Amino acid sequence: MKALFLKEIRSYLNSLTGFLVILVFLIVTSLFLWIIPNEATGTNILENGFASLESLFSLAPWVFLILIPAVSMKLFSEENKAGTMELLLTKPLTELQIVLAKYLAGFVIILFSLLPTLFYYYTVYQLGFPKGNIDVGGTWGSYIGLFFLASSFLAIGIFASVLTDNQVIAFLLALVLCYLFHNGFDFLASFKMNGVMSLFISSLGIQYHYYSMSRGVVDSRDVLYFLTLIIIFILATRLVLQSRKW
């Protein structure tokens, strides 16, 4: 498993995919948070006048909605297209170990894209008046929420990747599924129905739990939701791999 994990990391770095994901994420967020004026986006931290990273955490899910499918699309579809999946399945690894090795490799790339944003936190912390006037609990709660959101998108992405040998199709399928889980349930909940049903449908979506954690309160129900979603898609990916032996 470790060998496959390292192989996937090297594959990302050798193809520049990992570097491009990190670079694009940082460029896009930097432009929206520090350069583009509020008249266009309303996300410029300097113009908002508040020591807050709320703009980052409202913007990042939408950027990840594009970038994470770009990371995950090659994880299995490339193996399927090259015809090396059967060879991989003959290795002394279980299907779950194969899925986890590829999942963790993709997660490392995504984690590396998040780490530089800690500089944003340091900058806002220093610019606050008085210095340090920032909602620390809310900020770290949002980071934890973003961590789980990215993990969920990646789990959905590898499931999409294992279904096809075409990376473009894997990307589009992951994009649609991630969008549906992020916004689809809120859209359904917006239709006229009683409050309890509307709240229940909304709670099935990623956005509901992400915004809940971004308030700085890490509720066990939100954590359980994300872990359940991740496990479901990882097991679904394993099931698709196992079906090749049937």
The reported pTM is: 0.91
- 68 or 43: which carries more pLDDT confidence? 68
- 144 within 8 A of 56, measured Cβ to Cβ: no
Is 24 a residue whose pLDDT tops 90? no
Query: What integer pLDDT is reported at residue 22 of this predicted model?
Result: 82
Query: What integer pLDDT is reported at residue 40 of this predicted model?
Result: 66
User: What is the overall mean pLDDT for the chain?
Assistant: 85
Average pLDDT over residues 138-147: 87
Is 61 a residue whose pLDDT tops 70? yes
Report the percentage of the chain scoring pLDDT > 70: 97
Distance separating alpha carbons of residues 157 and 82, to the nearest angstrom: 19
Poorest-confidence range of 53-67, 90-104, 204-218?
204-218
Assigned token pair, 64: 């990840």
Report the percentage of the chain scoring pLDDT > 90: 27
Is 216 a residue whose pLDDT tops 80? no
pLDDT tens for 33-59 read 888 887 767 788 877 777 788 888 888
pLDDT tens for 112-133 read 888 888 888 888 888 777 777 7
- 66 within 8 A of 178, measured Cβ to Cβ: no
Is 192 a residue whose pLDDT tops 80? no
